[in-house]
Copies of this chain bind each other. A is one copy, B any other.
Amino acid sequence: MSVEDDLIARYFKPIATNPGALGLTDDAAVLRGGNDDLVVTTDAIVEGVHFRSSDPPETVAKKALRVNLSDLAAKGATPAGFVLTLALREPDERWLSAFASGLAEDAITFDCPLLGGDTVGTPGPLTMSITAFGRAPVGGMILRSRAQPGDRIVVSGTIGDAALGLAILSGKVTVDAAAIRESLIDRYRVPQPRIPLAEAVRHYARAAMDVSDGLAGDLAKLCIASGVSAIIDAAAVPLSEAARGLIEQGQTSFVSAVSGGDDYEVLCTVAKDRWDDFARAARNVGVVVTPIGEIIAGNAAPKWLDTKGEDVALPRLSYSHF
């Protein structure tokens, strides 16, 4: 048995319990056919770029999977499984064992089994890529391109916390209270994919995407894809107490909160007459959703207004990888 087969057998086979995974002993996995569409999303994360070398391996595993689950949730899809490719410098058993245990926990939490993968050597940074599958009724996936004037613009959870977590880890922001510091770091390391909200999104949202590159930039993308514009009430954007406090202290700004990345919240638009149903469905699954503005006709960049009705300038629209 080669080293990589041995690693796979030891750390990943125990979590590949779905019959379609064939115990990771074959060259491919099987996803049973059915009447549903299969929603497919893929995301790669790189050490030093999307996570830090010092991040615990459990949280690296969870982040790798969750950034994909976040896409599925925003598309209104129910998780069906995932495959993983892992490029490793050397097989560090302790790291791998912790990584696999984080992955196993999330596979169970989100009912999204490991179906297959590939482990390769690299002289470079740890790099992993996950392709995740979800199911949605035929034609039922929610696109980002269907927003219509008059739709309410809604966002789940709170915005800007993950960017603050990263800023704390990089020493750019200081938080004395340990509980607050840890909770912000946690938002960066372990996103909360809004899988419980997927069904409500599928039933009631017109357009949706997840917020991964900053709310402002991602909203602009949704508007471009839909051929519409938007007016945002900046004061309505949901911020955590921690974020509000740090803005007041001048350690960060509202603009940073809405242009930082890694939120992994759902951004969607809901027709006005479906808002009550959507809000009720979200409440039923315990996900906070907040209306922050309205889709309008036109192709201007979304307008962000402060409480005085004046423009909020957003110079840096979203994170770029290069």
Contacts and interface: CB of A to CB of B under 8 A. Distances in A.
Interface stretch (A33-41, A176-184, A278-286): A33-41
Contact of A77 (B22, B28, B88): B28
A41 B29 contact: yes
Chain A interface size, under 10 / 10 to 19 / 20 to 34 / 35 or more: 35 or more
Interface stretch (A116-124, A154-162, A289-297, A302-310): A116-124
A276 interface: no
A2 interface: yes
Contact of A116 (B41, B44, B49, B141): B41
A120 B45 contact: yes
Interface string A47-71: 0111000000000000000000001
A131 B31 contact: no
A273 interface: no
Interface string A147-191: 000000000000000000000000000000000000000000000
A264 to B, nearest CB: 11
Contacts of A217: 2
Interface in A5-53: 5, 22, 25-46, 48-50
Contacts of A230: none
Interface stretch (A101-109, A233-241, A314-322): A314-322
Interface of A: 2-5, 22, 25-46, 48-50, 71-72, 74-75, 77, 83-88, 90-91, 115-125, 127, 129, 131, 133-134, 138, 141, 143-145, 209-210, 213, 217, 221, 225, 318-322
Given A4-B321, A25-B225, A26-B75, 19 more contacts: A2-B318, A3-B321, A22-B143, A25-B144, A27-B71, A27-B75, A28-B72, A29-B40, A30-B39, A32-B38, A32-B138, A38-B38, A40-B115, A46-B87, A46-B124, A120-B321, A122-B125, A122-B127, A123-B125
13 contacts: A3-B320, A5-B221, A26-B143, A29-B40, A31-B37, A32-B38, A32-B138, A38-B38, A42-B85, A44-B118, A49-B123, A83-B131, A122-B125
